A and B are shown apart, each in its own frame.
Chain A
Amino acid sequence: MRETQPGTERELRHEDARWHVVYVAVIVFTVFVIAALWFFSRRFSS
């Protein structure tokens, strides 16, 4: 039990870290999409 507990915690931390990468990717993608839409708007409105 004492041996598995830290391993489980490490796994959970690793899992959390993976999800944090995904969340950052979502935010970056959203900023990219909004910027692309803004450029699209500027490109065809001028």
Chain B
Amino acid sequence: MRLLDWAVVVAYLVYVIWDGVRMTKYSDRAEGYFLANRSLPWWAVGLSVMATQLSAITLVGTTGQAYADGMRFIQFYYGLPLAMVILCITAVPFFYRAKVFTAYEYLEKRFDLKTRTLTSFFFLISRGLGVGVIIAAPSVILSIVLGWSEVATVFAMGLSTTIYTMIGGVQAVTWTDVKQMVIIFFGLFVCLFIILSKFPPEVSLGDALHLAGATGRLTTVDTTFDLKQTYTLWSGLIGGLFLMLAYFGCDQSQVQRFLTARSVGEGRTSLLMSAFVKIPMQFLILLVGVLVFVFYQFQPPPMIFNRVEQTKIESGTRAADYGALNAEYEKAFAARQAAAVEYVKNEDSDDAAARAAARASYLAAHEEFNKARGRGVALVKETSGNKTFTDVNYVFPTFVVQNMPAGVVGLIIAAIFAAAMSSISAELNALATATTIDFYRRHYKPEADDRHYVRVGRIATGIWGIFACFVALYATSLGSLIEVVNRFGSFFYGSLLGVFVLAVAVPRARSRGAFWGLLFGITSVWIASRFTDIAFLWFNVIGCLVVIVAGYLLSLTVRDAQEAR
């Protein structure tokens, strides 16, 4: 990184901390610190909802996925708009009018204390570890690509976010999220325009999309019904719907966002903002990854994007083998580059046979190139002993560092920081709220004054922030990062959703059914993940349905006793 880039990153960090720390309005009272006195406008809450969901892993991981596999990941979000509509009708007015601080508070009113405590406990465990992964993922990538110290990156990201979240509470979280979303959007658009400007003069955007489309990278709708395939139209519409219902309706980090809105109407509008914007925004992020793929049709990409692994192998006992493979790889690249140029030239030709021949020739050269890279990756797997090695998460940062002008590199790194910090702050704030309201106030000190709970909330934020940094230091080798976080959530989300469905939509549901149903649901998801090949998005459906069925049946066994009481 050059001096200008450093200046941009440091300026961003200083500004965000300063901006967050000064947002202390209402933060001397519990409702102000945890819910901003329910005073925030819909657009700020809406941007905060999107910023919380969009972590650095989404930004870096999905561009890498688009490079390697194309746009099929977008199907993950197809269930989101319908989920938002359902939540606007049910959860938003429901939680808002119940005047609760946490989603789990309601479960005590409907069922009993142990159901509330168990669900809140599962939230704390899953998100407490999840926020560690959110910090770890970009830290590992940035440390490898930029040569930064991993520990320093983890603490720069984790502690700076902890400081402003601790002091400003939810006000700081929301208003910094707004600015962070602006930086992310600005960074993405700048990146997009610079990639387009770096194509050879004879390659238009249309040509670039044809090249990507020929290799299957523009697949956005896959109608195959296969439970083992992660991203299809059906897994997105059904599995994604359940995941989004659970995430936005039962996860405190999102519920807390719309609870800060001025009214039920503004809370609804904030969620509907995501329903309108999320799929196009994800398309934009994936398009950046696809265009990076096209860029590397004309400029040689490294055989291995993970610089540390590349250096290790080049200086190890298999250096000669690596050198030979690299020579083959460079030859395969040159052949593919020539075929790509030929393909683009023939794209506008009236001769259908020539077009088909150029396309076939390009696809054959692309296949050979993939095989050459595959041999390089296999050698890394063999020498490192890491059978799940993948370097897709390094593609985008490597591209940025090697090809972007001074200043823009800093802007994109700041955008990656912004994406990470906006998610971390919301998670820390939600973890602190659940700890303070569901555990400290409910079990330990129910009668203290507001200032006391705010103080406890600040301490809890600090402790969770430090805990997350230490989890991040240990969570550095978890394979495909975007899936790790989503998998993590899928273990709990479906089952949590099942409990809330029992609470709201099944009048006969009783506390015993909800409590044991939740445990059955989580166990069934664990069995499904351990003993079947079912894709993780379906875990949400399984968990939710098992909780509803088991919870209902168990409730029937206790109905008489409860009614008598």
Seen from chain A, the residues whose Cβ lies within 8 Å of a Cβ on chain B are 19, 22-23, 26-27, 29-30, 33-34, 37-38, 40-41, 43-46
Assess whether B411 is interfacial by the CB under 8 Å rule. Answer: no
CB neighbours (8 Å) of B219 from chain A are 41, 45
CB neighbours (8 Å) of A41 from chain B are 71, 213, 218-221
Complex interface bits, B206-217 against A, C-beta within 8 A gives 1, otherwise 0: 100110111010
15 A-B residue pairs with Cβ-Cβ distance under 8 Å, sorted by A, are: A19-B268, A23-B85, A26-B84, A29-B276, A30-B78, A34-B279, A41-B218, A41-B220, A41-B221, A44-B209, A44-B212, A45-B213, A45-B214, A45-B216, A45-B219
CB neighbours (8 Å) of B74 from chain A are 37
Complex Cα spacing A44 to B343, Å: 13
CB neighbours (8 Å) of B81 from chain A are 26-27, 29-30
CB neighbours (8 Å) of B88 from chain A are 19, 23
Complex Cα spacing A29 to B80, Å: 12
Assess whether B283 is interfacial by the CB under 8 Å rule. Answer: yes
Q: Is the CB of A33 within 8 A of B280?
A: yes
Most chain A CB within 10 A, of B84, B214, B216, B218, is at B218
Q: Is the CB of B218 within 8 A of A30?
A: no
CB neighbours (8 Å) of B279 from chain A are 30, 33-34, 37
Assess whether B275 is interfacial by the CB under 8 Å rule. Answer: yes
Q: Is the CB of B218 within 8 A of A44?
A: yes
> For chain B, what secondary structure do more than half of its interface residues adopt (helix, strand, loop), or is it mixed?
helix
User: Which of B210, B220, B272, B276 is A38 in contact with, Cβ under 8 Å?
Assistant: B220
Seen from chain B, the residues whose Cβ lies within 8 Å of a Cβ on chain A are 71, 74, 78, 81-82, 84-85, 88-89, 206, 209-210, 212-214, 216, 218-221, 268, 272, 275-276, 279-280, 283
Q: Contacts A26-B276, A37-B221 known; A44 to B283 CB distance under 8 Å? A: no
Complex Cα spacing A18 to B561, Å: 44
Nearest residue in A to B223 (C-beta to C-beta)? Answer: A38
Q: Is the CB of A44 within 8 A of B82?
A: no
Nearest residue in B to A24 (C-beta to C-beta)? Answer: B85
Complex Cα spacing A45 to B88, Å: 37
Q: Is the CB of A23 within 8 A of B89?
A: yes
Complex Cα spacing A37 to B85, Å: 21
Q: Contacts A19-B88, A44-B213 known; A27 to B82 CB distance under 8 Å? A: yes
Q: Is the CB of A37 within 8 A of B220?
A: yes
CB neighbours (8 Å) of A23 from chain B are 85, 88-89
Nearest residue in A to B279 (C-beta to C-beta)? Answer: A33
CB distance from A34 to the nearest CB of B (A): 6
Complex Cα spacing A22 to B269, Å: 10
CB neighbours (8 Å) of A26 from chain B are 81, 84-85, 272, 275-276
Q: Is the CB of B218 within 8 A of A34?
A: no
Complex Cα spacing A29 to B85, Å: 12
User: 19 extra interchain contacts, Cβ-Cβ under 8 A, other than A37-B220, A44-B213?
Assistant: A19-B88, A19-B89, A19-B268, A23-B89, A26-B81, A26-B84, A26-B85, A30-B81, A30-B82, A33-B279, A33-B280, A34-B220, A40-B218, A40-B220, A41-B213, A41-B218, A44-B206, A45-B213, A45-B216
Q: Is the CB of A45 within 8 A of B85?
A: no
Complex Cα spacing A27 to B280, Å: 14
